[in-house]
A and B are shown apart, each in its own frame.
Chain A
């Protein structure tokens, strides 16, 4: 499998990476090499093997539903470049940006 320039641009857009035309070729070559390396796994016969959900054979521990102290507004928002009324101010959101739920 070989990735095209269009594939690379699509993935870059999803990851919010801005590639210059000069960067496109090298990134494509690198990614194709990575995929080729990983594709060795395709050779394995996995008939009847359950997909690995997690690298450690364990299951999720459950926590009791007891409140613990939060950070506090000042501490929680300390890293925000702009904070207004205890909230993070973000620039205008463009329509058509990725979103979901």
Chain B
């Protein structure tokens, strides 16, 4: 076996749709309710009940498919996927097998080096989620039993299946980050990986250089249900290393499903895939085909919001550096904060700088998000206006912002309470400048002999005297004026 190989990764992403009710019944779909309080004969799998499709679920699924550049099929159908597991009361999941809702899409990723690259999306289909198992015991292996909560059973999901186009763990991270950003602007899901409203399985295989067979025939390992983008990346990194070592030793890679252990960063074998998967799909007799008119699909397309690529372009055209634009685009809440702030304040760059440095730092330190920040866009704008009008300096504003976050008070209030105000009165500063110069004749000589640093020292002394409240550029100007006027008579 050759030592050289190429990494082949395909991702399957499950996304819970943000509907009020489940896919096939009127039970609430909300997360976090008392176990089994959101259940009815349909989602409990009682005999004789009939599923009825949720219009909004189909709407959100089509919205997602169009934003991901897919072709939506005017005609798609539902199938039963059969397996026994306690989280699946009917012993089959209603899913879509050979005629899914949408196909042939793509997401563009932008690796740090090189051009953007399209990652194909093979298909997007609609299906119902399973219930939740709470294992009694440390882990599944030594659990004495499991408690079944069927609140999640029947919650609408879309599964987004990529082509095996990804060539590294880093590309997988970029794909997931971009996918999540796109879905967040669509507002189709909560996208909380830790709560399971977005879940990812990664298929990883290595293709030896010179291999000419089909990708399908390579032994592939599926890493199941990883709970963060970072861990998907770590899991793939580990798996690539593990498989490469096996190939070096001349061992055969077993086609299997593996879990990911967050603590060790390793994947571990869960079950052999070779015999387990036999789902015996057949058309769901209880659901006629789903027929969508071209006009309706078009109306959903027309209603799509601005998506990350368009937003990137708009930001850069407004003078935001691409790196900053990227940070704003990938966090929809940050972008909305930015939009609201720049609507009221004309200097886009200044808003961006304050957001990405001081506001971001305080939000992170306090475990907040842009949407729930103690200081919202209006608060930030009020602060920036105080700087603009010369009432406080930029340096003072940093302190004011911190106090605003801590107390929830407005900028003006904080400034008043702290007795802060920038001294802009030229007369007041001039007398302090004259005082400072009297005390430092040697430094003046240094400055006059060409040492620019000497001036900075003098500025520092004036600022100290005024407890940082003097307007720095004014201090600078006055120092130069007074030195040249009073101490430079020799020249």
Q: Beyond the given A59-B289, A60-B290, A63-B26, could you list 18 further A-B residue pairs with CB under 8 A, ordered by the A residue number? A: A56-B288, A59-B288, A60-B53, A61-B53, A62-B53, A73-B34, A76-B44, A76-B150, A85-B147, A87-B149, A88-B148, A90-B148, A92-B144, A95-B140, A95-B141, A96-B271, A98-B83, A98-B84
B26 to chain A: closest residue by CB: A68
Give the size of the chain A interface in residues (CB under 8 angstroms): 42
Q: Inside 8 A of A70's CB, which chain B residues have their CB?
A: 27-28, 37-40
Between A77, A86, A101, the greatest number of chain B beta carbons within 10 A of the residue's beta carbon is seen for A101
- Given the known A-B contacts A54-B283, A100-B83, are A88 and B276 also in contact in the complex, defined by CB atoms under 8 Å? no
B145–A86 CB distance below 8 A: no
B277–A100 CB distance below 8 A: yes
**Residues 132-164 of chain B: 1 if any A CB is under 8 Å from the residue's CB, otherwise 0?**
011100001101111111100000000000000
Among A65, A72, A92, A96, point to the contact of B21 (Cβ < 8 A): A65
A40 within 8 A of B: no
- Given the known A-B contacts A53-B77, A65-B21, A65-B56, are A87 and B35 also in contact in the complex, defined by CB atoms under 8 Å? yes
B291–A59 CB distance below 8 A: yes
Q: Inside 8 A of B84's CB, which chain A residues have their CB?
A: 16, 97-98
Between A60, A73, A89, A95, the greatest number of chain B beta carbons within 10 A of the residue's beta carbon is seen for A60
A6 within 8 A of B: no
Tally the A-B contacts, defined by beta carbons under 8 Å. 156
A39 within 8 A of B: no
**Residues 34-63 of chain B: 1 if any A CB is under 8 Å from the residue's CB, otherwise 0?**
111111110010000000111111100000
Listed by A's residue number, 29 A-B pairs whose Cβ atoms lie within 8 Å are A10-B278, A53-B99, A53-B283, A53-B289, A56-B288, A61-B52, A62-B53, A62-B55, A64-B56, A65-B55, A67-B28, A68-B26, A70-B37, A73-B36, A76-B36, A84-B147, A86-B149, A87-B147, A88-B147, A89-B147, A89-B148, A90-B148, A93-B86, A98-B85, A98-B276, A99-B85, A100-B85, A100-B93, A101-B201
A43 within 8 A of B: no
B40–A71 CB distance below 8 A: yes
Complex Cα distance, B41 from A98, in Å, reads 25
Between A10, A55, A97, the greatest number of chain B beta carbons within 10 A of the residue's beta carbon is seen for A97
Complex Cα distance, B278 from A99, in Å, reads 10
Complex Cα distance, B135 from A56, in Å, reads 43
A44 within 8 A of B: no
B367 within 8 A of A: no
B280 within 8 A of A: yes
B287 within 8 A of A: yes
Among B53, B55, B85, B145, point to the contact of A89 (Cβ < 8 A): B145
